[in-house]
Amino acid sequence: MLFNSIHFILFLPVVVIIYFSLPYRYRWVLLLIASYYFYMAWRPEYVFLIVFSTLVDYFVAIKMSKVDDKQKRKKYLIMSLVINLGLLFLFKYFNFFSDSTRLLLNNFNIFYNLPSFKLLLPVGISFYTFQTLSYTIDVCKGKRKPEKHLGIFALYVSFFPQLVAGPIERSTSLLPQFYKKYDFDYDRVASGLCQMLWGFFKKIVIADNIANLVNLVFSSPENFQGIHFIIATILFAFQIYCDFSGYSDIAIGTARIMGFELMRNFNRPYFAKSISDFWNRWHISLSTWFRDYLYIPLGGNRVNKFRMYLNLMITFVISGLWHGANWTFVVWGFLHGLYLIFEKLIKNVADSIELKFGRGKFLRIYSLFQTFYIFVLVCFAWIFFRADFLSDALYIVSHLFDGVLHFIVNFWNINEIKLILSKFNITPLLFVEIWISILFLLIIQALRGEKDLFIFLRDKKMLFRWSFYYLLIFWILFFGYFGEQPFIYFQF
């Protein structure tokens, strides 16, 4: 079930009304049924994977709690890791590694003919697998006690607002909330609806309108040249941000209506002034998951510099692979690993520049340069993330500046602009509307800073607040794309 569908628009009010009508002790039952129904709206049979994973980790955690010996506890943890990651590998990575191995061995004239599995990737398997694994790891380390209520634990694994694309919640945060009693609260519901409205704006108005243009360029790069690649790459940066953060906003808003608080998953990532700052702002639930459950166990920054850089690279390459079974994602993760290593190598130089400029206008100029520079680096890496094949990405990179000088010289030539837009198969009005929407998004983010959008608006006059709400509604209705574009991260 897509958030941007009539199905969900009808589903959510029914669930919320019944939820607040039920006695507290029965609400978890409703939410569990609603969550399984929400997931089964895609492919009913794959709900058995969630049920199986839930049962495995529930009983593994119970068993670990009864064992004092750390080595025996680790055996149960390994069982959970093997089963959960084994399912993830089978459905998501087996064909990728099998095909890569076949290609490698063929170069050495070694016969390899292991058959491929024609399995449809279960929606959200990477998200709920990581969520339940964090629970078993925390129980093994003694950070939390095992959840004894099977139904509540099943709800933690399958909670419908964040089931298929996060945020990836920690058991220490989400599980206790299922035991709290939430009454209907107007301000909380209004805050949730505001968050959802902002998410729908980002998804339907910005991301979905951009999608067709980006898909056209990246599906057949040989038909385009440099300026098209640059525009499509910049637009993809906003498409993937608005698509994924839009999902997170709708998920957070949906949960908040019923009283639950999910973690913030995005924090104005394109305002970042360094790559490390970018990863503190982008897909926060995943980046902190890899930090806590992979980077730190590998040694983190408590080891020598070479080992620290190696830990960073391992973490980001695996993070890239988490996103998809394709070498393009591996290269994307590798690039971000390189960015971070380079950033750490020149940290002393960057610090000295800031110290030299002080806090005057030169520092503000330098700060703007940092933001622009990081955005360029992130956009370059997005080329590999978005490309269907590594060969396509390399073609785009090698032709990235073809014809750009000609475009700059003829920028004010209206016929030149029309020619470029004709290649995009997009009307000038829609093209302008997309950029106005992006500009509006950035202005609002700059104005509200770190504040939650509802809190930011609540501090304004009523006329401004309601004008903003109606502006978003009309913008969605008149300029939104209603073709039910799937969310990008559903494929991960």
Q: What is the dihedral of CA 275, 330, 307, 272, to 10 degrees?
A: 10
Instruction: Give 205's pLDDT tier (boundaries 50, 70, 90).
Output: very high
Residue 359 above 60 pLDDT?
no
pLDDT digits (tens, 9 = 90+) for 145-160: 999 999 999 999 999 9
pLDDT digits (tens, 9 = 90+) for 272-324: 999 999 999 999 999 999 999 999 999 988 889 899 999 999 999 999 999 98
Sorted by sequence, the CB contacts under 8 Å of residue 295 that are 6+ apart come out as 311, 312, 315
Instruction: Give 351's pLDDT tier (boundaries 50, 70, 90).
Output: low
- The DSSP symbol for 457 reads H
- The DSSP symbol for 20 reads H
pLDDT digits (tens, 9 = 90+) for 64-98: 988 888 888 889 999 999 999 999 998 888 888 88
- The DSSP symbol for 207 reads I
pTM higher than 0.95, yes or no?
no
- Is 477 exposed, middle or buried (CB count within 10 Å of its CB: 0-12, 13-18, 19+)? exposed
The distance in angstroms from the start CA to the end CA of the chain is: 16
HSE at residue 132, side-chain half, CA atoms within 13 A, is 34
CA angle 386, 368, 207 (to 5 degrees): 30
CA 459, CA 462: separation in Å to the nearest integer? 9
Where do the domains of the chain lie?
A: 6-181, 188-491
Question: Are 431 and 421 within 8 A, CB to CB?
Answer: yes
Quote the pLDDT of residue 361: 60
Residue 406 above 70 pLDDT?
no
CA 308, CA 302: separation in Å to the nearest integer? 8
Quote the pLDDT of residue 388: 92
- Catalytic residue positions, numbered: 323
